[in-house]
Amino acid sequence: MAVWLCQSALKRRGMWLWPHRVFATRAFSTEMGHTFASQDQPRPMDDLPHASSVKLLYRLLFQGFYNRTHELQIYQKQQYGPIYRDRVNGVVINSPQHLEELLRNEDKFPSRGDMSIWKDYRDMRGFGDGPFTVEGEQWYKLRSVLNKRMLHPRDAADYSGVISAVVTDFVDRIVYLRQCSPRADLVTDLANELYRFSLEGIASILFETRLGCLEKEIPAGTQDFIAAIAQMFSNVLAVLLMPKWSRSVLPHWKRYIAGWDGIFSYAKQLIDKKLEVIQQRVDTGQEVEGEYLTYLLSNPQMSVNDVYGSVTELLLAGVDTTSNSLTWTFYLLSKNPQCQDKLYEEVSTLVPADRMPSAQEVVRMPYLRAVVKESLRMYPVVSMNARLISSKEVSVGGYRFSKNTPFSLFHYAISHDEDTFQEPFTFRPERWLRDGCDRPNAFGSIPFGYGVRGCVGRRIAELEMYMLLFRLIRMFEIKPDPTGGDLKCISRTVLIPDKPLNLRFVDRQRENSA
């Protein structure tokens, strides 16, 4: 889950220093967004503008940015420019050019900084670390195991049968929910439904079993698991912000640990069950068959404890990132019927109506891919990330930074950069089509991160999104609920809508025959 990514950036935001006006530094040109130091020699980072913690606090508490830290990214970019200091030794990057310069210099084993609150639970209970919590060479070894069977589009295609089955159940659920509405076309709180879809989808890959999230009644164990995830996440911020001594006196730490206990005990139970099946097959001389979990459990480089740690982190990372990305995509399509028409044209012509698309087919649909890419540009659900470069000094934007300088990467501001994206607040999937026009700078929108530390679940998430969009758009025209109004975006670790999204799923066949 994205809270891991934001942790170090969040911690730093609370410690910003006094600002210097952008135009007061010699290093900045008047043209904000493309400002580089004018000298040949990189300048010391002390020359950068500062963002003050007092002003930050004022903006968060009195200017209404508390829930809108993604908008604060843009606001502060206007104030301080594309690169500035957020405390004595922390730096904010918020232009595609500066981001590219930094990331092209990243370490062999990239780090996002201190992950201790995640490690604390694992150390306390003796569980292994996962890809978020482990660092250095150990991380590299773990990723080389986790990447196999997941990272390449070819690997993701192996799960298309599983994903397709979950999509079918979700479509059935949408049909059922519509029928329950007065005009037989409204689905209320789609984000919640998409959460259930994403959890079911990723769990069916990671645990090689179905959890029942799409059934009319969610099984009690699964319901407790969902509640445990919510409990853990709702206490994260308190754990992050409160001093360690408060853990024994205030309730947040106990609740946080209870959340993790619930998550791990459910995950452990499912993993142990799979382990038993594998063991039985080995004992009876049968071939061991299975997918991701079987592969991990059979891998000599992974102890069972490592599997508990990794599978749990993969699961948490995959759920509300995918579900909120889908929520925004459906919202944008409902608001942009001309884009939806183009998408319908593509999905209804490239694959015969009586057949489901294969993974290879959906990933070759240019408009479908462009719709997802553009939605993720407008709503990069992980709106900020972090990097700590420890092996060397780096120069970015004409400034020199010492080893271990923590960088905050403000992806919302970057993917709304006006010099890179004309009309950045307009949904325009066409900007990503390879139709002879120049495509935007690739660093302008990197919703899955970058390089070897980039998202391990990217191909799975994309495939889930493509397959679901394909099926729903082929069946329904998605229209806004006339009483719903516009959604605003709030940042609660990931970018989520400020109120429930209700959408009309109008039967295309019924409409066409009417």
Q: Show the tokens assigned to 208.
A: 């090689």
CA distance 65 to 79: 15
Strand order in the sheet with 83-87: 83-87, 90-93, 405-410, 384-389
In the bound state with ligand HEM, the residue whose beta carbon lies nearer, of 32 and 99, is 99
Among 405, 380, 389, 396, residue whose Cα is nearest residue 455: 380
Letters for 119-138 (x = contact with ligand HEM by CB under 6 A, - = none) are: ------------xx------
User: Counting contacts by CB under 6 A, is residue 292 touching ligand HEM?
Assistant: no
Total number of residues binding ligand HEM (CB under 6 A)? 27
Residue 6 Cβ, how far from ligand HEM at the closest point, in Å?
A: 10
Sole binder of ligand HEM in the list 263, 317, 363, 371 (CB under 6 A): 317
Residue 130 Cβ, how far from ligand HEM at the closest point, in Å?
A: 7
CA 439 to chain centre: 23
Residue 246 Cβ, how far from ligand HEM at the closest point, in Å?
A: 28
How many CB atoms sit inside 10 A of residue 25's CB? 17
E strands in 446-513: 476-480, 489-492, 494-497, 503-507
Sole binder of ligand HEM in the list 102, 117, 163, 202 (CB under 6 A): 202
User: Counting contacts by CB under 6 A, is residue 90 touching ligand HEM?
Assistant: no
How many CB atoms sit inside 10 A of residue 16's CB? 23
User: Counting contacts by CB under 6 A, is residue 295 touching ligand HEM?
Assistant: no
Alpha-carbon distances, residue 502 vs 171, 196, 339, 464 (angstroms):
16, 16, 19, 21
User: Counting contacts by CB under 6 A, is residue 309 touching ligand HEM?
Assistant: no
**Considering Cα of 261, then 265, then 266, then 267, what sign does the dihedral take?**
positive
Alpha-carbon distances, residue 103 vs 118, 169, 235, 242 (angstroms):
25, 40, 32, 31
In the bound state with ligand HEM, the residue whose beta carbon lies nearer, of 317 and 503, is 317
In the bound state with ligand HEM, the residue whose beta carbon lies nearer, of 22 and 236, is 236
What is the helix (H) or strand (E) element at residue 186, kind and residue range?
A: strand 186-187
Residue 239 Cβ, how far from ligand HEM at the closest point, in Å?
A: 20
Q: Where are the alpha helices (DSSP H) in 52-189?
A: 53-61, 69-80, 96-103, 116-125, 136-147, 153-157, 160-179
Stretch that binds ligand HEM, among 355-363, 446-454, 471-479, 500-508 (CB under 6 A): 446-454
Instruction: Determine contact, residues 472/168, Cβ cutoff 8 Å.
Output: no
Instruction: Determine contact, residues 406/435, Cβ cutoff 8 Å.
Output: no
489 marked as binding residue? no
In the bound state with ligand HEM, the residue whose beta carbon lies nearer, of 6 and 171, is 6
Q: Which residues lie across from 400 on neighbouring strands?
A: 44, 395
User: Counting contacts by CB under 6 A, is residue 457 touching ligand HEM?
Assistant: yes
Sole binder of ligand HEM in the list 160, 235, 322, 329 (CB under 6 A): 322
Among 505, 504, 502, 506, residue whose Cα is nearest residue 484: 502
Q: Which residues lie across from 480 on neighbouring strands?
A: 503
Residue 319 Cβ, how far from ligand HEM at the closest point, in Å?
A: 8
Identify the DSSP state of 127: P
Sole binder of ligand HEM in the list 36, 75, 295, 448 (CB under 6 A): 448
In the bound state with ligand HEM, the residue whose beta carbon lies nearer, of 5 and 9, is 5
In the bound state with ligand HEM, the residue whose beta carbon lies nearer, of 453 and 504, is 453
Residues 365-404 that bind ligand HEM (CB under 6 A): 381-382, 385
Sole binder of ligand HEM in the list 76, 231, 321, 329 (CB under 6 A): 321
Stretch that binds ligand HEM, among 12-20, 176-184, 319-327, 424-432 (CB under 6 A): 319-327
Letters for 139-178 (x = contact with ligand HEM by CB under 6 A, - = none) are: ----x-----------------------------------
- Show binding-site residues: 455
Q: Which positions lie near ligand HEM, rule CB under 6 A?
A: 5, 112, 131-132, 143, 202, 313-314, 317-318, 321-322, 325, 381-382, 385, 447-450, 453-457, 460-461
